[in-house]
Amino acid sequence: MGLIFVARSSSHETPSLFAASEAENLNRNQPLPARMRPNRLADFVGQTHFLHEGSLLRRLIDAKRLGSILLYGPPGTGKTTLAHLLAIETGSKLKPISAVTSGVKELREVLEWARNEVSSGAARPVLFVDEIHRFNRAQQDALLPDVENGIVSFIGATTSNPFFAINGALLSRSQIFELKALSSEDIERLIDRALSDQQHGLGYLHATIEPDAKAYLAKIVEGDARKALSALEIAALSARERPPRLTRDWIAESIQTKTIQFDRSGDEHYD
């Protein structure tokens, strides 16, 4: 009786192939704003008022000593992107959590992980807390010992004025950087980049956008890059013709009317 040999793939190759395939699938299904997030600070658009050469934040990056930072500004101005880039530029591991879904238990688990990292000789990790204003006083206070002892570099992001939303102890230990709404020129740069990027953007569609349509989109989003790229993706993918030709009317059909947020006790109340 002849022997039948079954070829078996290497145990090291199969997981890596699956991992690469899974990563590609996840990336493909991300919305355009997430796919277009830059991987280096040089590609970050906007906020030149505190990112210019010689600025405080640049010096903190060069020294790889971020300390505690609060990023404050309206939606779509790059707070989350900047936090990721600060970790990359300083060679630090990034641990992101959301104050909307995380409590003291999850926060303490992350801080314990950070202590183990530093104890093993690794670089100080970056803890990024999105929507930090959603943490109550006790949750914010839980950050203080490890921030003061240099266990983590803390970055908090908020759309609320930190002088009202963040408790005094954390506020006094943090450098505050206010992000401004992006200019129309900044938004147009992001639109052009997304339309030409073959790997992460919409370049594979070979879409074109009429100049007045691009100017309209860049103005109507009022400095919100996420909103601009989301509308651009909807317009390009839903276009009837191929390759898509994006007109002003088609862009207008693809973007929602601005929603006014009512905030009884915050800045939006006065706006």
Q: Do 70 and 164 contact (CB within 8 A), yes or no?
A: no
- Cα 123 to Cα 244: distance, rounded to the nearest angstrom: 47
Per-residue pLDDT of the chain (271 residues; tens, 9 = 90+): 444 434 444 444 455 655 555 655 556 689 999 999 999 999 999 999 999 999 999 999 999 889 899 999 999 999 999 999 999 999 999 999 998 888 888 888 999 999 999 999 888 999 999 999 999 888 888 888 998 888 999 999 999 999 999 999 899 999 999 999 999 999 999 999 999 999 999 999 999 999 999 999 999 999 999 999 999 999 999 998 999 999 999 999 998 655 445 455 555 544 4
Q: Do 36 and 192 contact (CB within 8 A), yes or no?
A: no
Which candidate, 115, 11, 76, places its Cα nearest to that of 225? 76
Which candidate, 172, 153, 151, 171, places its Cα nearest to that of 162? 171
pTM of the shown model: 0.83
3-state secondary structure of 197: coil
3-state secondary structure of 49: helix
Cβ neighbors of 177 (< 8 A, separation 6 or more) are 47, 50, 57, 69, 70, 71, 72
